[in-house]
């Protein structure tokens, strides 16, 4: 089953001082990049390590600064503090640009706390193994946009923690609760690869935390596909109002018939917003689903479009247009 909710938080929070400031009035100078810093392991750039490039950016920066990362495997823990917004981390592509770590349980490879961060063309991996939390990335800042990135781990691969986040054409791999958190996120055309060994127990893709019906958080997956080995549930509840929607997603046969699990929130099933809308593939047959999954006619799917769910104020229109 993995860590219970309280233990999951404890094992991760002790490693990070967290200061989140939602809604800071920063537009990063519109869609213009003012400075480019090159990172290259062979010394053909300003820095050899990604963290050193981040550290070189002035605190409370309010203009887009791009850190371009040349191909290589960068073995380091990366931390973007809350007072360094308006940063773009751009790899050459997610196959050749890899950030890797995993020397002990509950050490996150990559942490991003500030608002207005863009990630592109990078794979973040935690190689610790399957014996506990193996977080590849923690994303906490509002208005974070992630394009063509990979997230590789086992349990708790991607901590989609807080804020509004947009994931486009990403690859996310894990076995238990490997997309989890309290963020308000839209995943478009992403590939989810479930690797849970069914001989041990079934896996779970999502563990979304939402404590009340008034909270805007939730995960929406539109398009993309779920593949992998073993068997996996679409999600389990991490909070009494957990919310996850799969929309026009291809579900392979790795998806278990029941689909969802109430976990420690039995008795709150009618509060969950778990739904599948216009999905396809052998795993999309909802005949065996839990009875409390929402039917498509019980939700207004237009409320979960990209523009309605995370982009009502148009923040995605204000990022450098090379990403859209």
**Catalytic (active-site) positions:** 177
Beta-carbon contacts of residue 200 (< 8 Å; ≥ 6 apart): none
SS3 207: strand
Beta-carbon contacts of residue 305 (< 8 Å; ≥ 6 apart): none
Helices (H), 157-276: none
Q: What's the DSSP call for residue 295? A: P
Calculate the dihedral angle through the C-alpha atoms of 276, 274, 21, 122, rounding to the nearest 10 degrees.
Answer: -40
Query: From the CA atom positions of the chain, what is the Rg in Å?
Result: 19
Q: Is 283 exposed, middle or buried (0-12, 13-18, 19+ CB in 10 A)?
A: buried
Q: How far is 234 from 227, CA to CA, in rounded Å?
A: 12
């Amino acid at each position: 089953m993995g860590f219970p909710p309280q233990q999951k938080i404890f094992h991760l929070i002790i490693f990070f001082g967290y200061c989140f400031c939602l809604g800071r009035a920063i537009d990063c100078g519109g869609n213009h990049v003012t400075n480019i810093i090159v990172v290259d392991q062979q010394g053909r750039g300003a820095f050899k390590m990604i963290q050193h490039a981040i550290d070189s950016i002035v605190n409370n920066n309010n203009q887009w600064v791009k850190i371009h990362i040349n191909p290589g495997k960068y073995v380091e823990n990366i931390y973007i503090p809350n007072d360094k917004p308006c940063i773009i981390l751009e790899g050459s592509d997610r196959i050749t640009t890899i950030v890797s770590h995993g020397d002990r349980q509950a050490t996150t490879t990559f942490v991003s706390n500030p608002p207005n961060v863009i990630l592109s063309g990078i794979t973040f991996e935690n190689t610790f193994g399957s014996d506990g939390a193996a977080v590849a990335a923690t994303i906490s800042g509002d208005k974070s946009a992630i394009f063509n990135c990979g997230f590789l781990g086992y349990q708790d691969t991607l901590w989609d923690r807080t804020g509004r986040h947009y994931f486009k054409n990403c690859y996310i791999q894990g076995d238990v609760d490997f997309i989890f958190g309290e963020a308000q996120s839209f995943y478009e055309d992403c590939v989810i690869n479930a690797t849970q060994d069914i001989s041990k127990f079934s896996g779970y893709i999502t563990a979304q935390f939402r404590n009340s019906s008034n909270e805007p958080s939730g995960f929406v997956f539109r398009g993309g596909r779920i593949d992998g080995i073993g068997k996996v549930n679409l999600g389990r509840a991490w909070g009494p109002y957990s919310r996850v929607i799969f929309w026009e997603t291809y579900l392979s046969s790795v998806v278990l018939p029941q689909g969802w699990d109430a976990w420690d929130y039995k008795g709150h099933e009618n509060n969950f917003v778990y739904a599948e809308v216009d999905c396809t593939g052998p795993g999309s047959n909802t005949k065996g689903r839990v009875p409390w999954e929402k039917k498509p006619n019980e939700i207004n799917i237009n409320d979960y479009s990209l523009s309605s769910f995370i982009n009502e104020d148009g923040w995605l229109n204000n990022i450098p247009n090379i990403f859209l």
